[in-house]
Structure 1
């Protein structure tokens, strides 16, 4: 159960959205057309630039009397500007923070389990899933204005999966309410919420759909029922690849099994192309990735680093048909600790659209990492790599995840 990969189901219309430039207008249009409810989960909810348009849309929906719920992560969104908090709460938006942080939170291993998924469901009919936060493409909370748009993707979905997305979000909402009731000593309220959560989770599985449209599945990672499903879905697709694997991933520090799967695929003649972060963002993720490159380069994997702006994508296309778009990085924080959500897709047209955008980025915006250049990298970089990887391994050891390596 902990590693179950859900079956692909037909009947979906999928629209690939690149960055906030595509995602925000589609999201705002859906919210403005809503007639019943808007539920949103995101790691970061920022209010700078174009992201404010999403906040305005949520306020408008709440003032029309809709059920508007927003869940943000306590680390990704530590604070909301006071003026926006007053506007949203005054309009009736129900806003909750997952795992709020304090000054010493980083010292608690349990605080590393974050809500990193990005989901939205409107009226139970239209869903959004991907890696794009409510954050303007040209703004970064830590680095300020960006020289070029952040490279990222989301998907707009209609079809059977939207109800699965809604149930997933309802389960988290009710679970957070349970903990809130317990903190306030309301045992009766907590028990009632638990019963509601169990009922929502134990709905009979949807019947297979024979509707036309793309085949897709929602695959989750949490610390209860779906602890390894996303990683396993990647490894299964990589193991079945016959011609080509293209992966774009922001924080790429895969575990032993994933690394071996990529090496094995390259050695059996599969073209393996990785588009990875080439612009410094966070010390640990940036430098811990570098020691991984050596074995991959020796096996014939093509590695390209994206540097016009921050690479934030978590996507892949395999053999021109299988594709995934979601929130999960290929690093231990995502694969072992955070709550994540990815869409798996089996559809040639959708995969072709994503493949075209990735190869364009590889060819025009990626810098190839050559094996000879990698072997000659400066001692200073190697020291930073050693420190970053050591810190990451220590963090995993504290979490009891030594087997990842």
Structure 2
């Protein structure tokens, strides 16, 4: 039996006009709820899918054939069989181990399965390391959306064991769901209508809303075309506005110099700046890279915590009393210069406080504080090495024509499934 799995190129809108149409402004009147770890996320998103009447759009970096993956598969099959349009977009690296039988069961039920940059192993080695659809987005009936860092895998549940991940997502209802829906449709290659009033790039709204009302939400994302730096710029701009506090919890922390400088400058002018990093990393290199930057930040008053209870997978931040961001983007070269990512910016005091309380619990109960050295050693050398490594990674795709900076085309391919 043959199943068709589309190869999607979500970093290439078909024309410049469409790229401009994907600039999103602030939307007011939304309800945003923080979902911490799989225990909160999976029941909420699965219930929404079970109640779907028209459409389910799903993007994820990782989908495993474990208890979470099989439950998701069953829900999507049941939805498709009752007439719901279901589009599932998967990353070819993160979902590269899915069996043909697993995909065939979805396709046979009418689920449209798409794979971003699929590649078979060469001499037993995966070769698609640097092309990643890293977003985690679900939109149901254009009425409720979920976005964050949680993949569809059992390692986000507490009973997984010591390697269970600490992570965050949000549920959004209200006017901003229309933007998330439009974005998910456009990135999956589906036909979308252009909404009047969306601003062009030269009029792109500020990462800091002019109003400080409740329920303000804005979708931001990065691709390898006109939105390469949007998420990074949002962090930089928000930190430049910080007056009281800033908390960043990020799994893979190795940002460029401009963002590092803004973190340091905020601390210098009296902002209480706190970073929560991995102390028990799932990738040892991530911890080593982050520690190269510690001296540079500590000497100016930044407080650094390492979360040691389990691997930290979150990508969240807050500034002062009402600005927050949750999404898929780490603060490392892969996310800031290569991956396809998406975050939401949120201006809402209640949500900000909820996120702050969660992160404060982590920092007080499950983290170790990194002491500031009176005479930091080799901090300039570490910063220089970090700067060079980051910018080599940042420009690597432009220097090599086969990485995400190229312009791949939408084309289907055939995969053999079991009978």
TM-score for the superposition, normalised by structure 2: 0.79
1:281-300 equivalent positions in 2, closer than 5 A: 281-300=282-301
Equivalent-residue separation in structure 2 for 1:386 and 1:264 (angstroms): 18
Residue 245 of structure 2 aligns with which residue? 244
Tell me what 2:87 maps to.
69
* Relative contact order, higher structure (CA 8 A, sep 6+): 2
Aligned to 1:372: 373
In structure 2, the CA distance between the partners of 1:236 and 1:387, relative to structure 1 (3 Å rule), is: closer
Instruction: Provide the residue aligned with 1:158 in structure 2.
Output: 173
Distance between the aligned counterparts of 1:343 and 1:158, measured in 2? 13
Do the aligned residues in 2 keep the contact of 1:220 with 1:342 (CA within 8 Å)?
A: yes
Other structure's SS at 1:34 match? coil
In structure 2, how many angstroms separate the alpha carbons of the residues matched to 1:114 and 1:325? 19
**1:391: how far off?**
6.1
Deviation (angstroms), 1:148: 6.0
Structure 1 residues not aligned, in runs of 5+: 176-195
Residue 357 of structure 1 corresponds to which residue in structure 2? Answer: 358
2:409 is matched with which residue? none
Residues 1:308 and 2:309 are matched in the alignment: yes
1:117 aligns to 2:135 (yes or no): yes
Instruction: Label 1:386 to 1:80 Cα distance change in 2 as closer, same or farther (>3 A).
Output: farther
- CA–CA separation in structure 1 for the residues paired with 2:302 and 2:356: 17
1:89 Cα deviation after fit: 1.8
SS in 2 for 1:137: helix
Partner residue of 2:396?
398
User: Compared with structure 1, are the counterparts of its residues 338 and 131 closer, same or farther at alpha carbon in structure 2 (3 Å cutoff)?
Assistant: same
Distance 1:223 1:279, change over 3 A: same
- In structure 2, do the counterparts of structure 1 residues 359 and 250 end up closer, same or farther at CA, with 3 Å as the change threshold? same
- Aligned to 1:371, the other structure's residue is in SS state coil
Aligned residues: 365
Give the Cα separation in 2 of the matches to 1:373 and 1:21: 42
What's the TM-score once normalised by structure 1's chain length?
A: 0.82
Instruction: Give every structure 1 segment of 4 or more consecutive aligned residues whose post-TM-superposition deviation is greater than 4 Å.
Output: 104-108, 373-377, 385-394
Match of 1:203 in 2: 195
The aligned residue for residue 188 of structure 1 is: none
Q: Output one character per residue of 1:67-126: Cα deviation in whole Å (capped at 9) or x when no partner.
A: 111001111110313442232122111111101123359768xx6231111111101111
Alignment of 1:178-327 (within 5 A): 196=191, 200=193, 202-205=194-197, 214-327=215-328
Q: CA deviation at 1:50?
A: 3.2
Is the Cα contact below 8 Å between 1:10 and 1:216 reproduced in 2? yes
Q: Which runs of 5+ in 2 are unaligned?
A: 1-18, 200-204, 206-210, 400-419
Name the counterpart of 1:78: 96
Distance 1:138 1:359 in 2: 20
Instruction: Give the Cα–Cα distance (whole angstroms) in 1 for the partners of residues 395 and 306 of structure 2.
Output: 29
Q: What displacement does 1:218 show?
A: 0.6
**What is aligned with 1:181?**
none
The structure where helix makes up a greater share of residues is 1
Q: How far did residue 58 of structure 1 move? A: 1.1
**Distance in 1 of aligned mates of 2:134 and 2:375:** 32
Match of 1:167 in 2: 182
Residue 332 of structure 2 corresponds to which residue in structure 1? 331
Q: Residue by residue, what CA displacement relative to the aligned partner does 1:360-383 show, whole Å, maximum 9, x if unpaired?
A: 001001111112399689xxxx99
